[in-house]
Structure formats: C-alpha cells, structure tokens
Amino acid sequence: MEQVHARDAIERGEAVLGIELGSTRIKACLSTRDGQTLASGGSDWENRLVDGLWTYALDDVRSGIQTAYSALVADVAAQYDARLTRVAGFGVSAMMHGYLAFDASGELLVPFRTWRNVNTERAAAELSDALDVNIPLRWSVAHLRQAVLDGEEHVARIAHITTLAGHVHALLTGERILGVGDASGMFPIDPETGDYDARMREIVDELDAQAGAGHLRLAEILPAVRGAGQDAGSLTAEGASLLDISGALEPGALACPPEGDAGTGMVATNAVTPRTGNVSAGTSIFGMVVLERALARRHAHIDIVTTPAGDAVAMVHCNNGASEIGEWAGVFREFAAAIGADASSDDVFEALLAGALESGVDDGILAYNHLSGEPVAGLDAGRPLIARTPGSALTLAGLMRAQVRGSFATLALGMRALHDEGVVIDEMRAHGGIFRTKGVAQRLLAAALGAPVVVGATAGEGGAWGMAVLAAYRVAAAAGETSDLPAWLAREIFGDDETTREVPTSREIDDHARYLDRWATGLAIERAAVEAMA
C-alpha cells in the first residue's frame, strides 16, 4: 500500500489491531483489512517460578500491552506522520490453557498458573478417564480439578475462570467471552453445538460435588463461547484508556472473539481446512492438523481442539520449542560483539544455520531443549543439554543441526500417533522466528513430520498479525461481507501469498526416523541430568 493511502486508512480509523501475549514478548500489529501490515510494536516479558509454579504478574499484563501499544503508535507516527486515534476492529490473543480464577468482585484468587505447569497429573488422568477424551495437564479444567482435589482454600470463592486472552479481552470490553479455539483448551467442545460439551460438563460437576465443591457449575464459571466473526463486544472507554495511556484512542472498535496462540497460528498460516496443518515454533512448539474425521481412539499426547471457526483439530503441544536455539544464538552474537563484529540477530541465525542441512555432521551428537517438564517426552522437569560420543566431531554445522533437530524431536514423537491413525496431511504450514532463515529449519521440519512444509511470506508476522486478520474478519462479518472463514482467508488475505515449499525425500524421512529412535533412547540422559542437577 502506498504511503499516502496507508496514512489515510489509519486516520480514517479503517485499520484493524491485533494484540498477542506470547511467552516472551507481547506484540501489537496494525493491519489493513486485507492483511497488509502497517505498523507494529512490542514489549518483552518473562514468566517467573513462584512457589514451584510458573506465572506472570497481572500488573505486567497491563503494563506490557500498554508498552506494546505505545510502541505501535510511535511506529505509526514515524512511518506515516499520522496519529492513531481509532481502529475499525481489534482482537486479543495469548498463550492458551492455564488457570486464572476470580471471585465475584473480579479479584484474582491465586497467581496466574500458565500452560507450562505440570502439577495437574492426577486431575488430568482422572478427567481423561471420566470423559474418555485426552485432557492434557495444561488445560484449564485440569488446573481447576487439581485445585479441588488439593482442597485449595480459594476454590470456595471461585466465581469464574478464564484464559489470559479472555482476561485481557474482559479488561478491554467488559465481556467474559472466548473464541472457540481458545475455549477448546479449557474444556472439550461439542462439534455439533460449537459450545462446551454439555454431557461432559455434567460429569465434571458431579465429580466436583463428590469432592465437596458442589458450588462449582461449569456452565456458570466458564466464559461464553463465540466462533470467528461473531459478536464479542466492543472497545469500551475504560478499555481504550487502559490500552492507550495517552488517552488518544477512541472507544467503539468492534472486538472479535479472543483466541489462543494456536488459533492465530492457524490463521496466520492459512491452515484452517481439512488435511492441512501448521507448526508454530516459539518458546513452545505445537503442531495442528485439521481433521477430516474423528480419531478412532483417545491418545495420551494428542489434544482435540478447534480452529477459530470450530472445526476439529488434532494438536500435539510441546512445552519446549526454539528457546534453546535462541540462547545459543545469543552466545554467538555476544562473541561476535566481543571481537568487534557488528552482527544482527538475522545475520547470526543465518551464519549458525548455514551448514545444518549437511547430513551426518551431527552423527554422535544429541541435543535436548527441555527447559521445563515435557509430558510428550515423559519428563517431569527439564535440563537443556548436549551429549556426544568421544568419536564425534564437534563443528558449528553439527552443533546447530543437532539443536534444530532436537527442537523438533518431541513434536515428531507426538505426531507418530496421527500417522498410526492414518491421518492424511497434504501439507504443514510453519511460522515462527526460526523460519526467517530461509529453507533450513523448514526442510528439517519436513523430514521430521514426513510431509511437505510450506512457509509463507507472512510466516514471520506471527500471532498478533493473525489476530488482526481475525479482527478484519469480524468487521467484514458485521458488514455482511463474509463467507466462511477458510474461503474468506483464501480470497481476501492469502490470494497473492508468496510461499516456499519443501518436500522431504524418502531418504530424509528414513534418516530422521532413525535419528528420532536414537534421540528417544537418549532421553535417559535427560532424566539423569534432572536428577543430578536438582
């Protein structure tokens, strides 16, 4: 879009805003209604381990979205000499799952418990058996049930629970609503109704009553569910003042249903139709495959969630993703600075990954990226490490090939069950910072999954952009201009999308299968490290 037209769109309030609270960065993205990014802003933050549980302070949520939005406003001013005072629509996305419990006055009862916590094993196992669906450790209902089983004092005062995206949406709109994709990480969704499964709700209510928590009625304490494009309120005056501390932002923008990072990942990669899927690689890594049919049986490490439109999705979620690669990149960037070399982050990644496609350079080297526990790998805790045989050659190419393959290995383990079920995958679309270095991580991921991997020009935009796209869809729906979400995305957003496609060879697939067997056996090293480095 030409500069003058972009400025006009911004000043007329026609742009849309997406906000995403990721695990290490809060991002804001301003976009046109056809998906062209206009400006962005961000703010760094980190989780904390408090009393044995991973959490973020809610004060940091408020200050983080304010900082990200302020940076976006500054970017608008710098690029277009324009003042951002209103937007047509907006949406909030955040890390899925976890547990935010509030009393009737809206006070937080216990610190936010994130998806990273794995203390809910007893509750998750009990619920999975009672409902005959896989309830992962990180799902909100598992956190709630564990609090009931542990007899936590705050349970008696719970009025409602939500996710991080739902909480921020409520701050900005006053509405207790979740998009169906995010809601599907709280409690199972009935595909026929697009709402929480009523029969399963009754089962959990009865279990809670037997445990002395009969006042908990899931129909009352869970947020309302909305599909993509449906009404989710609008930006209130209080919400506008919270988001924009300068006071310039006007209320009234249409809100789309808040979503989880899985949903925005599907949208950002245009992976919302059956036989397609996406991989989102960040602090965590997860793979999503939109299903043609229900799976034949329950699988311990496959969650059934939904797209933002409500279609069933098989999800393999791994707590540990590309963070360790980022740590190594930081070390090498520090080294470059120490010898007087001026290298950007992209320069460092490009140099590090340059030889990682060379087969055999990581022979005898195993890398584990587990900073925290990893249910898919059977780990209660993690210790990032590298182990190698005495006869192996430690080279830059081998080190980084081991790191990249190690960051995808847990996901590949979890995806094996889908292959066993006969799930057909035409292609997987990938996004995340590691794919900014063209071809390398993309090709190694294709070998790991045994399917073509596509990276689009928007792969680096991430979830905030995906959320802005959902906001645009809401604006279009309110004006009566939409078809179903997949068709609208294909026509309005991705019609001219430039992509690269890597198709793995049979040799690469077989080589990775042998590597994965070695890597899985080597998990014993990881468990020993956890015990020795308590």
Confirm whether 378 is domain-assigned: yes
Q: What are phi and psi of 502, to 5 degrees?
A: -110, 120
pLDDT in tens, 337-396: 999 999 998 899 999 999 999 999 999 999 999 998 898 999 989 999 999 999 999 999
pLDDT exceeds cutoff 60 at 411: yes
Output the pLDDT for position 94: 97
Q: What's residue 269's pLDDT?
A: 86
- pLDDT tens digits for 87-109? 999 999 999 999 999 999 999 99
**81 belongs to a structural domain:** no
Residue 521 burial by Cβ neighbours in a 10 Å radius (0-12, 13-18, 19+): exposed
In Å, the largest CA–CA distance within the chain is: 67
Model pLDDT for residues 128-186, shown as the tens digit of each residue: 999 999 999 999 999 999 999 999 999 999 999 999 999 999 999 999 999 999 999 99
pLDDT level of residue 458 (50, 70, 90 thresholds) = low
Quick one: 505 exposed, middle or buried, by C-beta within 10 A (0-12, 13-18, 19+)?
Answer: exposed
| Cα–Cα distance measured from residue 39 to residue 89, given in angstroms and rounded to the nearest whole number | 15
| pLDDT at residue 249 is higher than 80 | yes
Q: Which range marks the domain in which residue 348 is found?
A: 323-457+504-532
- CB count within 10 Å of CB 465 equals 25
Stronger pLDDT, 483 or 281, i.e. the higher one: 281
Specify the CATH number for the domain of residue 516.
3.30.420
In a domain, 359, yes or no: yes
Give residue 286's pLDDT. 87
Indicate whether 114 pLDDT > 90: yes
Asked, for residue 448, whether it belongs to a domain, the answer is yes
Q: What is the mean pLDDT of the chain?
A: 94
CB-CB contact of 525 with 387 (8 Å): yes
Query: Per the domain annotation, does 345 fall within a domain?
Result: yes
% of the chain beyond a pLDDT of 70? 99
Give the pLDDT confidence score for residue 1 in this predicted structure. Answer: 61
Q: What is the pLDDT of residues 214-235, one digit of tens each?
A: 999 999 999 999 999 999 999 9
d(C-alpha 434, C-alpha 256), whole Å: 29
In a domain, 219, yes or no: no
pTM score of the predicted model: 0.85
Residue at 79 is within a domain: no
The pLDDT assigned to 228 comes to 97
Q: Report if residue 426 sits inside a domain.
A: yes
pLDDT at residue 310 tops 80: yes
Average pLDDT of the residues in 278-303: 90
Residue 375: predicted pLDDT: 86
Q: Pick the residue with more confidence: 284 or 401?
A: 401
Q: Total domain count for the chain?
A: 1
Give the Cα-Cα-Cα angle 187, 189, 192 (nearest 5 degrees): 165
